[in-house]
Structure 1
Amino acid sequence: MKKWSDEAWAAAAPVYEQIINQPFVRGLADGSLSRQRFMHYIAQDSLYIGEYFRVLSHIASRLRDSSHAADFVGFAAEGVAVEKALHESYLSTNEDKPAAMTPACTLYTSVLKAQSYAPVEVEVAAVLPCFWVYQKVGETIYKACTDSANPYKAWIDTYADPAFEASTQRAIAICDELAQAASPETKAAMTDIFVLCTKMEWLFWDSAWNLEKWKI
């Protein structure tokens, strides 16, 4: 029987192909991305990630299976430490630190938080792209990156790390377990939100490439 994750990835695959071919992501891979664009991304990611980990903690409080809940507590705790170290390694000065979320960051975090009103299976599926897309992008870039002097090597290494892959695989497995017991309507909603949040990942990097700001 086909797993939910196989169906979800197939539905989101066209979006992922656009992500991996984005100029921002290609610039990360070959080190040609401007510092201005990267710092725009990192600054916004530092704001996004705070909301994201709150969503992970909220999911942990909703999950009925104690092992699933423990995994999500772990994702939040471990992720905070890793992301904080990564962001602080780049956000070295006050000028680098963001004043406010961009429209893309505001939209993505709002979409995630809105899933607190959906079935927990849907909320879990909403956070999966931040695991899976980053793991796939990190792995792809790592294999393509041959320059040890790439200024973004720390970022690449973080998301290509086997520990992050293990967390990603566990998150996928939890989604599959939840989907197996879910109604057809809930499974469809899981796929829809997974695809939407994969699009949000594309939008986030596109926002950084274009140095997005509020127009008003």
Structure 2
Amino acid sequence: MKLTDELWAAIEPVHARILDHPFLAGLTDGTLPRAAFRHFVVQDSHYLRDYARALAVCAAKAPGEDEVLAFANDAVGAIAAEQEMHADFLHAFGEDAAAAAAEPVLPTTRAYTSYLLATAYGGSFAEALGAVLPCYWIYARVGEELLRRSSPDPLYAKWIAAYGGDEFQAVVRRVLDLTDRIGEELSAAERRRVVEHFTTTSRYEWMFWDAAWQGETWPV
């Protein structure tokens, strides 16, 4: 079995729960409260800064020059997304990125990024790849599904288009091809660790959308 087949089989129930989440339903029918989307954008800005660091660690651990370059470019792209697309969204709320950056990193974001960075720094390249992969793959699958429906709200339609479009889909295919190549060389034990990390961060993806939907704050 290809590693990507094993990985996706492990998180199919999580993916189904994500597609059924009211946050995503609200994106496509335009009923998502602006406060929930703003929560998502602000926390995603915090998340992407640490995700870029995790990708940079992947670049440092990558087995070949092509992979080093690809992950380094993806790290730059994650920062660019935080600076450009999120700034546009915040501008639509009449705010600027500096004010949003001063807001606290909330519990789910902190937990997700802490796990991501700990795995990237402490594990092998394959384990780091497993941890960062859901943010590529689940967003591509979600974007692809949502693009069929888009949204009557121009702001939400713009977000959907960014992840459902051909450019992002091509990036994800490149990472999935690498995952399968790496998978052929893994021991059974390391393969299990990759599946574990991939499953864990996939669950965090669901939690991230749910946190925005619930308006999560620090309880104390």
> Is the pair's TM-score, using the shorter chain for normalization, greater than 0.5?
yes
Counterparts of residues 1-216 of structure 1 (less than 5 Å)? 2-92=1-91, 93-94=95-96, 96-97=100-101, 99-115=103-119, 116-145=121-150, 147=152, 149-216=153-220
Report if aligned partners of 2:112, 2:204 keep a CA contact under 8 Å in 1. Answer: yes
Structure 2: how far apart are the matches of 1:97 and 1:139? 29
| Paired AA for residue 142 in structure 1 | L
| Paired AA for residue 131 in structure 1 | Y
Structure 2: how far apart are the matches of 1:117 and 1:138? 31
Q: How many Å apart are 1:45 and its aligned residue?
A: 0.3
Q: Please give the secondary structure, in 1, of the residue aligned with 2:11.
A: helix
Runs (4+) off by over 6 Å: none
Structure 1: how far apart are the matches of 2:151 and 2:45? 27
RMSD: 1.4
| Paired AA for residue 139 in structure 1 | E
Q: Structure 1 length as normaliser, TM-score?
A: 0.95
- In structure 2, list runs of 5 or more residues that go unmatched: none
| Paired AA for residue 156 in structure 1 | I
Alignment CA distance shift 1:50-1:146 (3 Å): closer
Alignment CA distance shift 1:36-1:96 (3 Å): farther
Report if aligned partners of 1:44, 1:98 keep a CA contact under 8 Å in 2. Answer: no
Alignment CA distance shift 1:146-1:47 (3 Å): closer
Q: How many Å apart are 1:84 and its aligned residue?
A: 2.2
Structure 1: how far apart are the matches of 2:179 and 2:158? 29
| Paired AA for residue 178 in structure 1 | I
Structure 2: how far apart are the matches of 1:172 and 1:202? 21
Size of the aligned set, in residue pairs, is: 214
Report if aligned partners of 1:91, 1:97 keep a CA contact under 8 Å in 2. Answer: no
**Superimposed CA distance per residue, residues 70-127 of structure 1 (whole angstroms, 9 cap, x where no aligned partner):** 1111211233223421100011215655511110000000010111111110011100
Structure 2: how far apart are the matches of 1:137 and 1:11? 17
Structure 1: how far apart are the matches of 2:155 and 2:24? 14
- In structure 1, list runs of 5 or more residues that go unmatched: none
Structure 2: how far apart are the matches of 1:33 and 1:160? 19
Q: Structure 2 length as normaliser, TM-score?
A: 0.93
